[in-house]
Amino acid sequence: MDAPEPETKPSLARLLGPGLVTGASDDDPSGIATYSQVGAQFGYGMLWTMLFSYPLMAGIQETSADIGRVTGHGIAGNLVRHYPRWLAMLIVATLVTANVINIGADIGAMGAAVSLLVGGPAAIYAVVLAICSLLLQVFVPYHLYVKGLKWLTLALFAYVGTVLVVHVDWAAALRATLIPSIKFDAATITALVAVLGTTISPYLFFWQVSEEVEEERLSIPERPLKFAPSQAPAQLRRIKLDTYVGMGFSNLVAFFIILAVAATLHANGITQIETASQAAQALKPVAGPLASLLFTIGIVGTGMLAIPVLAGSAA
């Protein structure tokens, strides 16, 4: 049995890593579009889903991170080791297909958002942003790139800022958050499935596991926990804190997106939104240029955060 590791007090930046980045990347432009649609259609009525989905999301992400830290392999690597190869390939192929579609939607939303900010052709902006993201992923070392991803999580505060510059009926919002209002009709069930599918996504499982493996490989004293069980208490505590904070941050931002759209678009009779950029455009005459600007900046920032996570989890 290996000797116990000397305990040192890690910094907050060290404690918050894979879970924070994974949670923040969940609020990608496609997710923003889903939350905007829900806020526009149902107003405050679906805010309760953020409380409902949080323990589900945090629990499965913590389990995923534990798998990576214990085994030293990602989900695909573990599938190949324990299940038929054809099954692992089928699961990974499904993930890659879904991620490619999601990346395309995110790039398109980012291009449209930049077009709203500065004018010009959205397609050109989308191509430029895609190339920039690709070059960063290929040429910037992981240990540097992941630090940049941590800073990009700050872009999500744009949606907190949006709420601060619009009028919100806080009593109604709090009531809708704490007292679920569920109607068993097609529209409500579809919205609930969309929210759960957006907050609990397979690419998040793959990414957080892989990031835990990369973090372990970058740190010389650390080893997979199945070979270094004495490291388990500290590492599992870190994973729990990192994951629950990261997923809480993700759901809090999603809550603010729904809240902002509900307080503005839904309150003014705009109940149909197709994309995140449409939501930002519709906000301008209803809530003012500042709210629209913050919402739009958030789309670009979250896209630059989510695309490498989508691509990396598929790769």
Amino acid 161: pLDDT: 87
pLDDT digits (tens, 9 = 90+) for 92-139: 999 999 999 999 999 999 999 999 888 889 999 999 999 999 998 889
C-alpha span between 62 and 60 (Å, rounded): 5
Q: What is the model's pLDDT at position 142?
A: 77
CATH superfamily of 12-314: Amino acid/polyamine transporter I (1.20.1740.10)
How high is the pLDDT of residue 8?
A: 53
Alpha carbon separation from 98 to 92, 199, 203, 211 (Å, rounded): 10, 15, 9, 20
pLDDT beneath 70, residues of the chain: 1-15
**Helix, strand, coil: what percent of the chain each, to 5?**
80, 0, 20
Predicted model pTM: 0.88
Q: What is the pLDDT of residue 17?
A: 78
What pLDDT does 125 receive? 94
Q: Give CA–CA dist 266/87, Å, rounded.
A: 44
In this predicted structure, what is the pLDDT of residue 155? 82
Among residues 105, 103, 128, the alpha carbon closest in space to that of 115 is found at: 128
DSSP conformational letter for 228:
-
- The residues spanned by each domain of the chain are 12-314
Q: So what's the pLDDT on residue 253?
A: 93
Question: Which pLDDT belongs to residue 296?
Answer: 87
By the 10 Å C-beta count (0-12 exposed, 13-18 middle, 19+ buried), 283 is classed as buried
Query: Encoding tokens for residue 83?
Result: 């299940």
pLDDT score, position 5: 47
Name the phi and psi angles at 140, rounded to 5.
-90, 125
